[in-house]
Structure 1
Amino acid sequence: MKIIAIEEHVLPDAVKQAWNTVPGADDGTLALNAGELGERLANLAEQRLALMDETGVAMQVLSLTTPGLNNLGHHGIDLARRVNDLLAETVAANPSRFQALAVLPLADGENAARELRRGIEELGCKGAILYGRVGDKNLDHAIFEPTFACAAELGIPLLIHPQIPRASVRDAYYAGFSAPIDLALSTFGLGWHYEAGIQFVRIVLAGVFDRHPNLQVILGHWGELVMFYLERLAMLDRVSKLRRPFVDYVRNNLYLTASGMFSSAYLRQAIEAVGPERILFSTDYPYQYRPGGDARRFLETLQLNDDDKRKFAHANWERLTRGGAL
C-alpha cells in the first residue's frame, strides 16, 4: 500500500541566508536545523529519495520548514517566488515521488494571495503552508483574509504549521532552565503545539469558516492539542455566536495528520474526533525520521480495516487535493 507523507520539510540555502541576515528574522530556532538535519533539509534528490524508500514512503509533499517567511517582511515576497519555483522544479524532476505546498509572503496579505494563486494555478502546488501569526498578528487578523478567501476559492488545503511562541510568552512560560531546555520546551517539547492549536481555535472563533464554509485546514501532531480539549472547547458555544457549534468546524473544516507521531492511541482519538476520512499520513521529515521501515511498519500494524488504512495512507490526501473534501 503506497504512503503519501504530507508534511515533509525542506530548507533552501536562500532561506537560511535570509534568516541569518535580515534583522529580526532569527526567532531562536535556527539551531534546530544544524548538522545532519540541515543536510537532509537541503537535499532534494538522492539522499532524500533513499531515506523515503527505507522508511516506506512513496511520495513526500514538500514544504518549507518553520518559521517560513513570516519574519522576513517585504524580503519574503521575492523569496516566496524563488522557493516555490524551486519546489516546482523538484516536483517536475520526480513527479511520482514529490508534490509541494506553496510558501507565502504572509507579512503582505495581498501578495500572499497572489503567490498562492500562482503556486496552485501555474506551478501545480497542492496547497499551502502557514506558520501561524506574523509578528503580533494572529491568524484571525485581517491581513490573512485574502489568503483564506483565495484558498477557499481554489479549493485547496492550508496546513497550519507550528512556530515558536513570541518572546514574551517564552519568557513567561518556557524560560528559566538551561538555554537548550528553554528552546526545546518552547518548540518541539510543548510550545510549538499550543501555538498552532490556538491559531486554529482563533480562526474558528473569528468566523473564518462562516465566511468560507468550504475552506479546509490541516493540523499536524494529531491536532496540536486541540483534540484533547474538544469537550472544553465546545463550551465556547455559549458565547461565540457562531453559525455552527465549535465541534462542527472540527468535523467539517479540519484534517489531522500524524507528523511522525506514530501512536495508535492518538490515531484512534483522531478518528473518534473527525472520522477516518479526515486523517492524513506524514512523517515530519527529517525531524522525526527513524530508520528501520518506521512508516511502513506503523501503517501495517494498525488495527484498522484495509479501507481505512488506504484512506490514511494516501486516499484521503488524493481526494482532498482533487477538490473532493468532505
Structure 2
Amino acid sequence: MPSPFFPPRVVALEEHVSFPDLQQRIPLAARQQAGWPADDNPDSPTAEYAKKLAEIGPERLALMDAAGITVQVLSISGPGAELLLPDQGPAFAREYNDRLAAGIDKYPERFRGFAHLPLTNPQAAADELTRCVREHQFVGALLNGTTQGKFLDAPEFAPVLAQAEALGVPLYLHPGIPPQPVREAYYSHLPGSLGERLSMAGFGWHAETAIHILRLIFSGTLEKFPRLKLIIGHMGETLPVMMARIDNTVPQEQSQLPRTVAQTLRDQVHITTSGIFTRPPLMAALATFGLANILFSVDYPYAPDAAGQKFLAGLELPPADIVQLACGNADRLLGLAQ
C-alpha cells in the first residue's frame, strides 16, 4: 500500500516562467532559425502554456498550495539571450533576470530563482551569474540546450563553468530546441507536428541532455572542474538505465579518465523528477544515482502540480527518505534557508 505520509515541506526546482514582451524583442528570424514555433502556430506545443508561464502570483501560488508545494525555484523558459549576438545578449539577460527577481521579491518565502545567462558572450555570462547570485540571491543558473550548436565542453564556455564552481552554485542543464541539422536528420518527414513534438518533450530533448552530460565527462571537462555541480531533469534524461552500459562499452582504459562515468555522475550530477511521475524510472534512479542525488520537481506548467503531489503521496519509501527527496537534497544543494 502507498505510504500515507506527505512531507511538510516541498521544494520544486524545474518550474518555469517567461515574459512574452521580452521574447518578442528577439528577432523573429533568430527564433525561427533556432526552431522555435511561430507565435501563431496552432500546433505549437508551448503556446497553450504562455499565460501560466507569464504569471508569478495568486494563480501559481494557489496551485502550489493545493499541491503542498512550499517553494518553486523559477527559471526562464523559451527563447532567450542565447539567440542574440554577443553584444546584445548581456543587457537582455540582465533585464530578464531583474524582471524575474522583481516577481520573486513579492513572495520571497515561496520563490527562488535560477539566472538566465547570455551564453553567446561567455565572460559576460559568468559576470551575470555572479551578479544574480550576489545581488538577487539566485541559487544557480539554468541553461537551455546548446548555444549556436555548441555544448558546454567547448573551451569558450570555461569562464561560466569556473564561475559556477567558484560561487558554489549548480548549473541546471535543461533541454533546448535541437540544432537544425539534427532536426532535419532525425525528426523531419513525419505527419503534422509529430516531428516537432518528438524532437522536444517526446524524446529528443532527453537524448540531447544525456549527450550533453556525457560530453562534459568524456571531454575531461568535469575533471577540470571537479567541484562543479550539475542538475538535469526528467528522472536523469535516460542516464540511469544507460549508466552501466556506458561504463561497459567505454571503459576507463579507453576514456583515460580517473573516474568511471557512473562515479562521475554520482559525484557531480543531481537529477530531478520533473515531468516523470511513475515508479519504474524512480526505482532505476534510486538504484543508480542514489537518493542523495535526486530532487523533486514538477516542470510547471508543462506538467501539473497535482501530478507531482500524487506522485509524492504515493511513494512507498520511509518518511525520512521522502523528506530528503522532497526538500532535504534541494535545501542542501541550493543553500535554501528554511
Q: TM-score range by the shorter chain?
A: over 0.9
Identity of aligned residues (%): 36
Matched, 1:137 2:150: yes
Structure 2 unaligned segments of length 5 or more: list them: 1-7, 38-43
Whole-Å separation in 1 of the counterparts to 2:284 and 2:61: 32
Q: Which moved further from structure 2: 114-123 or 86-95? A: 86-95
Q: How far apart are residue 29 of structure 1 and its match?
A: 3.1
Cross-structure match for 1:24: 30
> 2:101, 2:113 within 8 Å by CA — same for their partners in 1?
yes
Q: How far apart are residue 22 of structure 1 and its match?
A: 5.0
Q: How far apart are residue 55 of structure 1 and its match?
A: 2.5
- Per-residue CA deviations over 1:242-277 (Å, capped at 9, x if unaligned) read 121111111100101011211121111111111111
Alignment of 1:131-210 (within 5 A): 131-210=144-223
Alignment of 1:66-85 (within 5 A): 66-74=78-86, 75-85=88-98
Whole-Å separation in 2 of the counterparts to 1:68 and 1:264: 34
Runs of 4+ in 1 over 4 A off after TM superposition: none
- Per-residue CA deviations over 1:18-71 (Å, capped at 9, x if unaligned) read 34x253233333333313x10000011111111212222111100001444222
Whole-Å separation in 2 of the counterparts to 1:271 and 1:186: 27
> 1:126, 1:321 within 8 Å by CA — same for their partners in 2?
yes
Cross-structure match for 1:44: 56
Q: How far apart are residue 297 of structure 1 and its match?
A: 2.3
TM-score, normalised via structure 2 length:
0.90
The one of 254, 262, 273 aligned to 1:247:
262
The structure whose RCO (Cα within 8 Å, separation 6+) is larger is 2
- Per-residue CA deviations over 1:225-250 (Å, capped at 9, x if unaligned) read 12221122213223111121111111
Cross-structure match for 2:289: 274
Whole-Å separation in 2 of the counterparts to 1:272 and 1:155: 27
SS at match of 1:44: coil
- Per-residue CA deviations over 1:110-154 (Å, capped at 9, x if unaligned) read 000000100111110011011231112222101211110001011
The one of 41, 47, 65 aligned to 1:53:
65
- Aligned residue identity for 1:116: L
- Per-residue CA deviations over 1:73-122 (Å, capped at 9, x if unaligned) read 23321111011111211221101110000010011110000001001111
- Aligned residue identity for 1:64: I
Q: Which moved further from structure 2: 305-314 or 63-72? A: 63-72
SS at match of 2:13: strand
Q: How far apart are residue 14 of structure 1 and its match?
A: 3.5
Cross-structure match for 2:12: 5
Cross-structure match for 1:92: 105
- Aligned residue identity for 1:49: L
SS at match of 2:115: strand
Matched, 1:298 2:311: yes
TM-score, normalised via structure 1 length:
0.94
Taking only aligned residues, the RMSD between alpha carbons, in angstroms, comes to: 1.6
Q: Which moved further from structure 2: 258-267 or 112-121? A: 258-267
Whole-Å separation in 1 of the counterparts to 2:45 and 2:23: 12
Q: Which moved further from structure 2: 76-85 or 226-235? A: 226-235
The one of 116, 121, 130 aligned to 1:103:
116
> 1:6, 1:281 within 8 Å by CA — same for their partners in 2?
yes
Whole-Å separation in 2 of the counterparts to 1:143 and 1:130: 15
Paired residues in the alignment total: 319
> 1:66, 1:161 within 8 Å by CA — same for their partners in 2?
no
Whole-Å separation in 2 of the counterparts to 1:207 and 1:47: 44
Whole-Å separation in 2 of the counterparts to 1:318 and 1:18: 35
Whole-Å separation in 1 of the counterparts to 2:310 and 2:255: 43
SS at match of 2:73: strand
> 1:56, 1:294 within 8 Å by CA — same for their partners in 2?
no
Whole-Å separation in 2 of the counterparts to 1:282 and 1:68: 22
Whole-Å separation in 2 of the counterparts to 1:127 and 1:298: 26
Whole-Å separation in 1 of the counterparts to 2:165 and 2:180: 32
